[in-house]
């Protein structure tokens, strides 16, 4: 088969999504795949058949460049389509992967934009205020959940994907040590230290969590949960759900705090504390080849700035 009727594309895309869901891809990844397919389907809408000769490949490249100014956005869409056409080749629905003809632009690394210390301080104060204003155990539990997530991003550098997968047993709380145990899909588990000053917060959260679960007749081993104003609905949060929580409570702050900006603050803090780069990369789940140059430049720029972001004098503040 030298081409594919465009009417057959959508069924194959649905099959692809089901196949990757079965492989354990997160809901967030599947959502990104769907969005990338929508872009591709927009391009092929004027074609009766998908026949990626050299001319059409160039037309698709031009289409992406006009539609997306971000190099990284174009890279992601091409990566999704490479996977999709590999799937079509595997199913003998297409003879070869035409997307491999398109060279990916080098990934654009933007300078870090970490949450500043004054913003972190205000967020911590807001979380304390919300906890004190809670009118019942569930409201208090939700604020404690948000505080624990905040700590695990800022102090342990977790991104939303591993954060969403955490179980209660992933938190080790000893007399003089706290560690969060990370269980990646493609490497051995490892642990990241968290300042022991957060022991009271973690224990308070876990104890109240068990009480509220028992009162509701539920039992989850997930560290986090999804709830409405009246009850816990289910265990676990999706990565998107965690991002939404940060977005919601940040509305009450002067500046938006995202898991990404808070994680970048953690990296800056670790570098400023002279943690070894190899250790930082291991804690972040990054490849040994990952460069910290942009973060080092950020720190150097802060040292000479008239109004530094105040990360370098961080002394720590317990929620």
With CA atoms as reference, report the closest residue to 145 among 41, 51, 222. Answer: 222
User: Which CATH class name applies to 4-101?
Assistant: mainly alpha
> Taking residues 118-139, what's their average pLDDT?
94
Instruction: Report pLDDT for 49.
Output: 66
- The alpha-carbon radius of gyration of the chain (Å, integer) is 23
Is 146 within 8 Å of 249 (Cβ atoms)?
A: yes
Instruction: Report pLDDT for 108.
Output: 47
Instruction: Report pLDDT for 278.
Output: 94
Q: How many CB atoms lie within 10 A of CB 191?
A: 15
* Sheet with 178-182, side-by-side order of all strands: 171-173, 178-182, 190-194
Cα–Cα distance measured from residue 9 to residue 306, given in angstroms and rounded to the nearest whole number: 56
Distances (CA, A) of 43 to 20, 129, 256: 23, 50, 35
With CA atoms as reference, report the closest residue to 67 among 43, 34, 47, 95. Answer: 43
Query: What value does the mean pLDDT of the chain take?
Result: 86
Query: Among the CATH numbers 3.40.50.300, 3.40.50.360, 3.30.420.10, 1.10.443.10, which is that of 117-304?
Result: 1.10.443.10
User: Which residue ranges make up each domain of the chain?
Assistant: 4-101, 117-304
Instruction: Report pLDDT for 317.
Output: 39
Q: Which of 56-70, 81-95, 181-195 has the lowest mean pLDDT?
A: 56-70
Over residues 258-285, the pLDDT tens digits come to: 999 999 999 999 998 999 999 999 999 8
DSSP bridge partners of 194: 178
Instruction: Report pLDDT for 263.
Output: 95
Report the run of H or E that residue 191 belongs to, with start and end. strand 190-194
Over residues 199-217, the pLDDT tens digits come to: 999 999 999 999 999 999 9
Over residues 103-125, the pLDDT tens digits come to: 655 454 567 889 988 999 999 99
Instruction: Report pLDDT for 16.
Output: 94
List all residues 6 or more positions away from 251 whose beta carbon is below 8 Å from its beta carbon. Answer: none
């Amino acid at each position: 088969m030298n081409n594919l009727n465009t009417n057959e594309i959508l069924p194959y895309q649905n099959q692809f999504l089901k196949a990757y869901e079965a492989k354990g891809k997160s809901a967030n990844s599947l959502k990104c795949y769907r969005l990338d397919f929508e872009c591709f389907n927009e391009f092929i809408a004027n074609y009766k058949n998908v026949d990626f000769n050299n001319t059409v490949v160039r037309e698709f490249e031009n289409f992406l460049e006009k539609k997306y100014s971000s190099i990284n956005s174009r890279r992601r869409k091409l990566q999704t389509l490479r996977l999709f056409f590999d799937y079509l080749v595997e199913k003998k629905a297409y003879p070869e992967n035409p997307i491999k003809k398109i060279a990916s632009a080098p990934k654009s690394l933007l300078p870090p934009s970490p949450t500043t210390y004054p913003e972190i301080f205000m967020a911590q104060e807001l979380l304390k205020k919300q906890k004190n204003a809670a009118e019942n155990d569930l409201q208090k539990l939700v604020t404690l959940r948000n505080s624990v997530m905040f700590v695990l991003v800022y102090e342990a550098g977790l991104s939303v994907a591993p954060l969403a997968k955490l179980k209660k047993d992933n938190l080790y709380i000893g007399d003089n040590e706290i560690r969060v145990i990370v269980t990646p899909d493609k490497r051995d588990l490892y642990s990241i230290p968290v300042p022991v000053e957060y022991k009271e917060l973690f224990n308070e959260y876990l104890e109240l969590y068990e009480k509220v679960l028992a009162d509701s007749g539920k039992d989850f081993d997930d560290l986090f949960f999804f709830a409405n104003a009246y009850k816990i609905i289910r265990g676990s949060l999706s990565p998107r759900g965690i991002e939404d929580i940060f977005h919601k409570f940040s509305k009450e702050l002067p500046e938006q705090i995202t898991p990404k900006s808070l994680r970048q603050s953690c990296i800056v803090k670790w570098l400023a504390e002279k943690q070894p780069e190899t250790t930082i990369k291991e804690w972040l789940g990054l490849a040994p080849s990952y460069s910290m140059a942009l973060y080092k430049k950020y720190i150097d720029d802060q040292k000479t700035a008239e109004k530094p972001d105040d990360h370098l004098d961080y002394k720590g503040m317990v929620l």
